[in-house]
Structure 1
Amino acid sequence: MDTNDTWLIIPCYNEGTVIKDVIENARATFPNIVAVNDGSADNSAAQIHAAGAHLVNHPVNLGQGAAIQTGVEYARRQPGARYFVTFDADGQHQVKDVVAMLERLRNDDADIIVGTRFGDAARDEDQVPLIKRIVLKTVVMLSPRTRRLGLTDAHNGLRVFNRKVADELNIRMNGMSHASEFVTQMDEKGWRVAEQPVDILYTEYSMSKGQSLINGVNILADGLLVRKLP
């Protein structure tokens, strides 16, 4: 598959330990990557540069939503850009899943394909930590938009979308609430949405970064906040 028309957008905050490996692994398949260094206090910027990705710096930390919006705006200005991928910096996402999702997007009647951790009940029990699973399913239960769109995993950061979505995307919420805002825009803008089962690699490193109970509570709170946006 020719992937020169595809751009990976990687928001990055203090991921200097792993970001170089993540980018180098992805660049073997996807040469066009923009990583947004979101005010990191570590060596993330240097590691991004060393890995050969396009580097955009936020001088201060603005949050993942803002980093994704910056990355999408950068990518859509590049010649020949037709497809866009949001991809986490901590090594959880798998390149093989992006390839499958991109192939489906090219051939199916969809504008955006969202990864889901809940595509196979037997695998879900092994793949998703219990607290995380409870939080994610609660978010879906509390979100009429998510249920209306047929989504089972609204906070999965792996998304593949076309130029229409990239041009219309306007993320205003800076924190984890950007995922709920993504769902809101899917619904309000009438994007054609599909889901794809994906494998999430939960390592000791990634678990320490964002799988705590506090993070789960923040996801729920942010989701409720998005529902109040005009």
Structure 2
Amino acid sequence: MNDFLIIIPAFNEEENMLTVINTLKSLNSPFDIVIIDDGSTDQTATKAKECGAEIISHPTNLGYSAAIQTGFKYAKKKRYPYVIFFDGDGQHDSTNISDMMEAIQMENVDVVIGSRFLQKRNMKIGFSKMIAINFFQLIIYLTTNKRITDPTSGFKAYKANVYEKFTKSSEFFYDLPDSNFIIDILLRELIILEIPVNMFDRQNGKSKIHATGLKPVIYMAQTLLSILIVVIKKKGFIKVGGDLN
């Protein structure tokens, strides 16, 4: 077993799965890979098995948050010192994995976020999504006095002292863990480091989180509500959920 675990949450990513896994394996780097198949109805799991990947399958689609927590719990069970989340849609650049690995091993760093905005990139970002990103940049700054350039990035690395905290449902209660999760981590006085990464436009399939129409508005409203809960919870006014080990 290696010290690093690459966790890939996936839902109906059969068109991207082979490329994502094979690209990671071609790096010949010291990490293990696990696919969290979130109840896919296509051939996602089959494609992953063809590559010899470790797979954990949810019996039904439980959502991105549940896939993340399953990854955390698997990593804790196996006692990985570090985990890196890597999207199954082909948008993350595998050549940045080594940068993430190096950064998360630094002293006084608890979480690393791969940011597409620290250097000029060619990835196209929709108008509504850019508004959401700018809005949550502001919310994070107002609530934590910290600046995060890419609050919606799914390319993240965690040390065990962080991810193990979130294997309990009382500590990880999100439907969509984005800016709300970042604020939670910062309010715990943990250190987040952003590093520049490259991201690609999605080639196949559709985003399951950031879509068009009213979905971005609903996403922003849900995230704002979750941020409010995080802040209130931090102040000790409420307790959320119960521990599930």
Give the TM-score normalised by the residue count of structure 2. Answer: 0.82
SS at match of 1:185: helix
Residue 22 of structure 1 aligns with an amino acid whose one-letter code is: V
Cα distance in 1 for residues equivalent to 2:143 and 2:17: 31
Post-superposition offset of 1:152? 1.4
Cα distance in 1 for residues equivalent to 2:157 and 2:172: 16
Cα distance in 1 for residues equivalent to 2:50 and 2:225: 38
Cα distance in 2 for residues equivalent to 1:127 and 1:116: 12
Q: Which residue, out of 102, 123, 129, partners 2:125?
A: 129
Post-superposition offset of 1:133? 2.1
Post-superposition offset of 1:146? 6.7
Q: CA RMSD in A?
A: 2.1
Post-superposition offset of 1:127? 2.1
Instruction: Within 5 Å, give how 1:32-71 maps onto structure 2.
Output: 32-71=32-71
Cα distance in 2 for residues equivalent to 1:69 and 1:146: 24
Q: Which residue of 1 aligns with 2:22?
A: 24
Count matched residues. 221
Q: Percent identity?
A: 27
- Structure 1 unaligned blocks of 5 or more: none
SS at match of 1:152: coil
Residue 104 of structure 1 aligns with an amino acid whose one-letter code is: A
Q: Which residue of 1 aligns with 2:106?
A: 107
| CA distances 1:98-129 after superposition (whole Å, capped 9, x unpaired) | 21121122234201111112113xx25x3242
Contact persistence 2:140–2:147 (CA under 8 A): no
Residue 76 in structure 1 maps to residue 76 in structure 2:
yes
Cα distance in 2 for residues equivalent to 1:168 and 1:198: 26
Q: Which moved more, 1:37-46 or 1:133-142?
A: 133-142
SS at match of 2:7: strand
Post-superposition offset of 1:147? 5.7
Give the TM-score normalised by the residue count of structure 1. Answer: 0.87
Q: Which moved more, 1:96-105 or 1:150-159?
A: 96-105
Post-superposition offset of 1:166? 1.6
Cα distance in 1 for residues equivalent to 2:78 and 2:15: 29
Post-superposition offset of 1:11? 0.7
Cα distance in 1 for residues equivalent to 2:143 and 2:71: 25
Instruction: Within 5 Å, give how 1:1-230 maps onto structure 2.
Output: 4-29=2-27, 30=29, 31-79=31-79, 81-120=80-119, 123-124=120-121, 126-131=122-127, 132-144=129-141, 148-169=145-166, 170-174=171-175, 177-205=176-204, 208-209=206-207, 211-214=210-213, 215-229=215-229, 230=233
Residue 7 of structure 2 aligns with an amino acid whose one-letter code is: I
SS at match of 1:14: coil
| CA distances 1:172-222 after superposition (whole Å, capped 9, x unpaired) | 223xx211332132123221111111111113426x335533343243122
Contact persistence 1:39–1:58 (CA under 8 A): yes
Post-superposition offset of 1:39? 0.8
The structure having more radius of gyration, on CA atoms, is 2
SS at match of 1:127: coil
Contact persistence 1:8–1:86 (CA under 8 A): yes
Cα distance in 1 for residues equivalent to 2:183 and 2:139: 13
**Closer, same or farther in 2 for the Cα pair 1:55/1:37, shift >3 Å?**
same
SS at match of 1:59: coil
| CA distances 1:117-161 after superposition (whole Å, capped 9, x unpaired) | 2113xx25x324241222211222233467623211111000011
Cα distance in 2 for residues equivalent to 1:105 and 1:35: 21
